[in-house]
């Protein structure tokens, strides 16, 4: 008899949730510390750009290799190693005395987070099936979403109220912000050593790593992301990076076909690339994630730099989003089990309408009503996002073949990192484009880009409703990866 929840699954899920909270708290908490880092270390725009976007760059580069390694050799020690690298980056950034060291620390943390997260989703895929898998993914999304939303609140509290602890007061309060996730990471590592099971590859046959394929995919990802990470004036023109992309993709496709012809398992697994639902679900996640992360950045920049609010006051405006997200995520598995992909489409439409309302509030609400208007739209955004993220993950990863859960999770998340890097760079440029600082109009321009991303996400979700119906409560039949 097949059980949805095997022995030890509860402790495994708890460790996965701890890892999600640790890595995503660190990412979201940084936004509040940027002005303090700029002031304390005299960081220029180029270094700040690396601090903001470098994390997503190395996160995205690590995802596919880490997912493939987890599928081939097991996930436990990759999980632990990734958390260790992440914690090392946190210490390096929190003790830095120069701005470029903080940028390097963020790159290192991205590598750690990109190593951990495919193992997290792979473990959930491996230990849960059917409705229990959807609930586990819902818990993962809830914890990650809450960490993402309360990050500014934690950062604002540390900067405003606790900066004087240990002699790190005043302008050095940002150090506590960068170290905020360290205790969670240090607790997770020994717990994982003791309680995390040593997963074994699902397939009887050993999975080949396809190192040339991984290398070509990494180069293509760099050519796509680096132009948006590099500050203006650094490196070759953006057009040259993008012109190098098509030949690399063509070479990758040629190699993968040849590798498949040799009877080996390519990194572009046919069972994934030929799956309409997996491809569309990945595109849904890609555009929704970039929109959500960039909208939060634009709003934070406007409230702190544009209106001069304290980090804590700005964070309180986004707090209702965390509450709405938590409630909606806890119920989302019921909704998707009953309605399937169409529930994601309607939630995306609601998110788009709410974000459009946020733009209207920014442009036309009187200043005395601004906080109330933004608080209400943030609450609605949290609710709609809670009905999108974990249902879409469950529907998309349900098409991962046996033995490729980590690889599928890696592709899903690397699409999100690409979107996050490109969209945050574009939105930050728009929000900071005004000569007098971040204004209502410049922030609204940034949020308009986020609306366009959400519209694309909703379109791809609607295209996947050709096969409507509820999420299966039994595990799908998969073709084994060779």
- How far is the first Cα of the chain from the last one, in angstroms, to the nearest whole number? 26
Cα 421 to Cα 355: distance, rounded to the nearest angstrom: 20
Q: Which of 16, 294, 8 is nearest to 142 (CA)?
A: 16
Closest C-alpha to 216, from 248, 244, 260, 246 = 248
Distances (CA, A) of 269 to 102, 243, 262, 408: 37, 26, 14, 9
Beta carbons of 257 and 438 less than 8 angstroms apart: no
Q: What is the 3-state composition of the chain as percent helix, strand, coil, each rounded to the nearest 5? A: 80, 0, 20
- The CA distance from 393 to 161, in Å, is 38
- The DSSP code sequence of 184-237 is HHHHHHHHHHHHS-----SSSSPPP--HHHHHHHHHHHHHHHHHHHSPTTSSS-
- pTM for the whole thing? 0.78
Cα distance between residue 405 and residue 69, in whole Å:
11
Please work out, in degrees rounded to the nearest 5, the angle formed at the alpha carbon of residue 221 by the alpha carbons of 218 and 226.
120
How far, in Å, CA of 102 to CA of 110, rounded?
A: 12
- Determine how many CB atoms are found less than 10 A away from the CB of residue 454: 26
Fold held by 9-463? Growth Hormone; Chain: A; (1.20.1250)
Side-chain half-sphere exposure of 185, counting CA atoms within 13 A? 27
For 418-457, the pLDDT digits (tens) are 887 788 777 877 776 665 667 888 888 889 999 999 999 9
Rounded distance between C-alpha atoms, residue 246 and residue 30, angstroms: 34
Low-confidence ranges of the chain (pLDDT < 50): 1-3, 163-169, 204, 468-482
Nearest to 410 by CA among 82, 200, 122: 122
For residue 466, the model assigns a pLDDT of 60
> So what's the pLDDT on residue 436?
64
Q: Which of 463, 432, 426, 433 is nearest to 448 (CA)?
A: 426
pLDDT at residue number 357: 95
Say if residues 79 and 418 touch (Cβ distance below 8 Å): no
> Which sequence spans correspond to the domains of the chain?
9-463
The DSSP secondary-structure symbol of 402 reads T
């Amino acid at each position: 008899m097949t059980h949805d929840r095997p022995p030890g699954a509860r402790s495994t899920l708890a460790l996965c949730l701890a890892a999600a909270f640790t890595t995503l708290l660190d990412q979201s908490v940084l936004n509040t510390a940027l002005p303090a880092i700029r002031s304390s270390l005299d960081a220029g725009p180029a270094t700040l750009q690396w601090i903001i976007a470098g994390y997503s760059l190395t996160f995205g580069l690590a995802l596919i290799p880490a997912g493939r390694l987890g599928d081939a050799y097991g996930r436990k020690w990759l999980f632990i190693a990734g958390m260790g690298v992440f914690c090392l980056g946190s210490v390096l950034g929190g003790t830095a005395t120069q701005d470029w060291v903080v940028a390097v620390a963020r790159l290192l943390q991205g590598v750690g987070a990109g190593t951990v997260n495919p193992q997290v989703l792979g473990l959930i895929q491996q230990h849960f099936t059917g409705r229990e898998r959807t609930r586990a993914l819902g818990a993962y999304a809830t914890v990650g979403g809450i960490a993402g939303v309360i990050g500014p609140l934690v950062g604002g509290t540390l900067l405003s109220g606790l900066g004087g602890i240990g002699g790190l007061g005043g302008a050095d309060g940002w150090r506590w912000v960068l170290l905020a996730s360290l205790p969670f990471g240090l607790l997770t590592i020994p717990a994982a050593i003791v309680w995390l099971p040593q997963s074994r590859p699902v397939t009887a046959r050993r999975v080949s790593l396809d190192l040339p394929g991984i290398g070509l995919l990494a180069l293509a990802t760099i050519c796509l992301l680096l132009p948006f990470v590099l500050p203006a004036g650094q490196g070759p023109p953006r057009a040259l990076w993008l012109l190098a992309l098509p030949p690399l993709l063509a070479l990758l496709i040629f190699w993968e076909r040849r590798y498949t012809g040799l009877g080996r398992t390519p990194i572009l697994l046919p069972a994934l690339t030929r799956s309409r639902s997996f491809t569309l679900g990945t595109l849904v996640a890609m555009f929704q994630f970039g929109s959500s992360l960039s909208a939060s950045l634009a709003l934070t920049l406007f409230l702190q730099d544009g209106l001069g609010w304290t980090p804590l006051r700005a964070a309180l405006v986004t707090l209702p989003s965390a509450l709405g997200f938590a409630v909606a995520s806890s119920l989302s598995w019921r909704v998707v089990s009953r309605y399937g992909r169409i529930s994601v489409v309607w939630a995306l439409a609601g998110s788009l309408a709410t974000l459009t309302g946020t733009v209207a509030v920014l442009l036309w609400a009187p200043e005395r009503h601004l906080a109330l208007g933004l608080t209400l739209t943030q609450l609605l955004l949290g609710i709609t996002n809670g009905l999108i993220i974990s249902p879409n993950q469950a529907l998309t990863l349900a098409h991962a073949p046996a033995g490729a859960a980590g690889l599928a999770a890696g592709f899903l998340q690397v699409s999100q990192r690409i979107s996050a890097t490109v969209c945050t760079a574009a939105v930050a440029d728009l929000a900071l484009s005004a000569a007098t600082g971040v204004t209502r109009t410049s922030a609204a321009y940034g949020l308009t880009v986020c609306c366009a991303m959400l519209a694309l996400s909703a379109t791809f979700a609607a295209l996947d409703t050709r096969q409507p119906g509820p999420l299966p409560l039994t595990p799908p039949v998969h073709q084994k990866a060779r």
